[in-house]
Structure 1
Amino acid sequence: MKMEDIAKIAGVSKSAVSLAFSGKPGISLETRERILQIAQESGYLPKGKSPTLDHTAKSLTFLVIANSGIVLEQYYQQPFFRELIHFIEERCRAKGYSLLFSSIDMEFFDRDIRMVAEEKKSNGVVLLGTNLDREQIADIAGKIQPLVVLDTCFDTLPIHFVEINNFMGAYQAGNHLCKIGHNDIGYIESNVRIHNFEERKRGFTAAIHEHGREIPDTHRFSVAPTILSSQDSLKAQLEAFLKKGNRLPTAVFCECDYIAISAMKTLQELGYRVPDDVSVIGFDNITEAVIVSPELTTVHVEKQRMAYLAVDLLIESIELEQSAGTKIRVDTHFIERQSSRVK
């Protein structure tokens, strides 16, 4: 039997079979399991090896629960997560561990988490917590250990967390805008709410309040957080705002770089110049921040440090059997580029 035959029986592409054997992301857990089961039943040995995992090797699993809001099914193509994965893999190699990938659909949350827990294919799990709430993480932690949750935090859970200092980053952005003379400030938020965005809203609001500024309700806009192109919904909101006789804010803070880049393109389509008419600030410092024109002023997230800390904390839990939960918050720093200017 050949790889093409496995693909035909499973009803998938040859590349999907390759991903299943390599343990790389790109297919769902259900698809991966189906492919491996077919291969095993057929006696297929890829490159002289069994498609089942070598349980004597040291490995960690990067577990993602995908949905249609923040963490997409093709999450490994999203700039922020792509960078995190790169650094996680890098740290695993340095520590003598391989990295496996497991992605499940939020729709099958209970079933697939149970499946991951029962199979226990690696020594420990780094869970991407970006889009998960407290109850979901508590449920996972009750079934899977050792576990480190990356990119969110819930202080009342006795679990290892490594997160961004979201409050600090947004505070830095708000402080910057006020210091360069902006009084009329707008806020573009995600229409999908998660812990990180709520903390950024708190931090930005705290900064401008310290400078005696407020954001009127009319200056708050809401858009999808995973679109890099211009958005019709934002264009409609801005046009409705302008038709009421309002003037655009001189600066806007966006809850992530995706939103900031989308906002810049939308503003340009409406005939506004960034930063001459409107300064735009983002959050995350994804690689695309220096590709767009003008280059994006943003909050830099130490993705490498977060990834390294998560891997180190998990390996410590495995090798030293440390059970007490640890909360780590990684500070940010502000990067001023060409999308903002003095008012």
Structure 2
Amino acid sequence: MTKSSRSGLQQKRVTLRDVADRAGVSETTASHVMTGRRYVAEATQQRVLSVMEELKYRPNQVARSLRARSTSTVAFIVKDIANVSATTSIREAAALLRRRGFATTMVDSPDEGFSSGLLQQVVDRLPSGVIFFGQDPEPAAARLLRQASVPFVVGGLGAAHTGDWDIVYTDQAAAIRRITAVGLAHSQSRVCFIGGNWDDEGARTRLKGFTQAIEASRGALNSRDVQLVPYTVEGGRSAMANLLSDPPTLVVCGSDQIAIGAILKAQEAGLRIPQDIEVSGFDNVEASEIIRPSLTTIDARLAEQGMICAEMLLQRIELPESAAQRRELEPRVMERQSMRLSP
């Protein structure tokens, strides 16, 4: 091949078809060399890998890793990298995986779903596995991972837990329902909810739990008693400001960050926690013990979720054909100073 023709080929995006044609094999065979899903004769493997490097179908260091079928790297795909609950789970998962010899990388996916183009980039880096935190993969994404023989696990508080894959989850609706029911037992006035934005699966689940508790105790939920905001301190502050024209006696929050913001805003308005307004959170992050008064919250067992996700992925890597696992963790209510859990 002349230098000019080679240069022309490299000006466009090199495809697997280009590799297959140059190596004199079918596109299916070239794909099998990449994924290791089917046996390919050693001589053919070497010819295809050499063409991949020649055409720069993959960066050289990744092409070399094809011989080992993966890069000993686990990719975390995260719904919201700024969410404290996600970082807690990821930290524990990464620590366990490092002890087992795996490097980790993180991809932020703030939009609903995960684009096939972005996921293809993840697959192209040949990860040993993928863990989704905070969202389920779309059906097309799950198919792409399976076709590429990339094991994956789903965990975190935003997942819907509906797929036929390995899942680790906490029953968020039950947890919110429980803490709301406790508050309703000794709160005779206005009870409100501040949760995450509606486009988040976890936010919808937590609101569902609150709604169920209200309907079981008082009948229909009044929409003015619900505020949906980002999972941030500022979100909690702005929501509480909206509620203070008719101050509630209990505010159930969908995250600790929101609850902390709500407490700060109420205190700025001269209200006492918990004497005037009781507040509960969700997540049990470190800051929930630091704020004053300390925050009564739901321990979603985030660290355990991360470790179990990592353990499940390692099992999936070792036993790719085994049945999918579903692991539910029982949440715990942590009683502190911002809300009473007894009359």
What TM-score do you get using the length of structure 1 for normalisation?
0.70
Give how far 1:147 is off.
0.6
SS state at 1:178 partner: helix
Q: Which residue of 2 aligns with 1:102?
A: 106
Contact 1:164 1:329 in 2 (8 A): yes
Residue 252 (1) aligns with residue 251 (2): yes
Count of aligned residue pairs for this structure pair: 276
| Structure 2 unmatched runs, 5+ | 1-55
Residue 180 (1) aligns with residue 186 (2): yes
The alpha-carbon distance between structure 1 residues 182 and 235, as it changes in their structure 2 partners (threshold 3 A), is closer
Contact 2:198 2:204 in 1 (8 A): no
The alpha-carbon distance between structure 1 residues 231 and 258, as it changes in their structure 2 partners (threshold 3 A), is closer
Q: d(CA) in 2 for partners of 1:310 and 1:224?
A: 26
Percent pairwise identity = 22
Q: Which residue of 1 aligns with 2:289?
A: 290
The alpha-carbon distance between structure 1 residues 173 and 62, as it changes in their structure 2 partners (threshold 3 A), is farther
Of the candidates 69, 74, 93, which is equivalent to residue 61 of structure 1? 74
Q: d(CA) in 2 for partners of 1:86 and 1:65?
A: 12
Q: Which residue of 2 aligns with 1:193?
A: 199
Residues 96-175 of structure 1: pairs in structure 2 closer than 5 A: 96-104=100-108, 109-120=115-126, 122-128=127-133, 130=134, 132=135, 136-144=137-145, 145-151=150-156, 152-175=158-181
Q: d(CA) in 2 for partners of 1:105 and 1:216?
A: 33
Q: Which residue of 2 aligns with 1:280?
A: 279
Give how far 1:220 is off.
1.8
Contact 2:195 2:206 in 1 (8 A): no
Once the two structures are superposed, residues 45-89 of structure 1 have per-residue CA deviations (whole angstroms, 9 ceiling, x without a partner) of: xxxxx89997758834132255xxxx14xx4xx432232122112
Once the two structures are superposed, residues 117-165 of structure 1 have per-residue CA deviations (whole angstroms, 9 ceiling, x without a partner) of: 1221x3211122x1x4x5x532321222311011144454222221221
Give how far 1:277 is off.
0.8
Give how far 1:214 is off.
5.1
Once the two structures are superposed, residues 148-198 of structure 1 have per-residue CA deviations (whole angstroms, 9 ceiling, x without a partner) of: 011144454222221221122112211221233445311112234322122
SS state at 1:211 partner: helix
Contact 2:296 2:335 in 1 (8 A): yes
The alpha-carbon distance between structure 1 residues 60 and 313, as it changes in their structure 2 partners (threshold 3 A), is farther
Q: d(CA) in 1 for partners of 2:171 and 2:237?
A: 32
The amino acid of 1:195's aligned partner reads E
Contact 1:256 1:283 in 2 (8 A): yes
What TM-score do you get using the length of structure 2 for normalisation?
0.70
| Structure 1 unmatched runs, 5+ | 1-36, 42-49
The amino acid of 2:323's aligned partner reads A
Cα root mean square deviation, aligned: 3.0
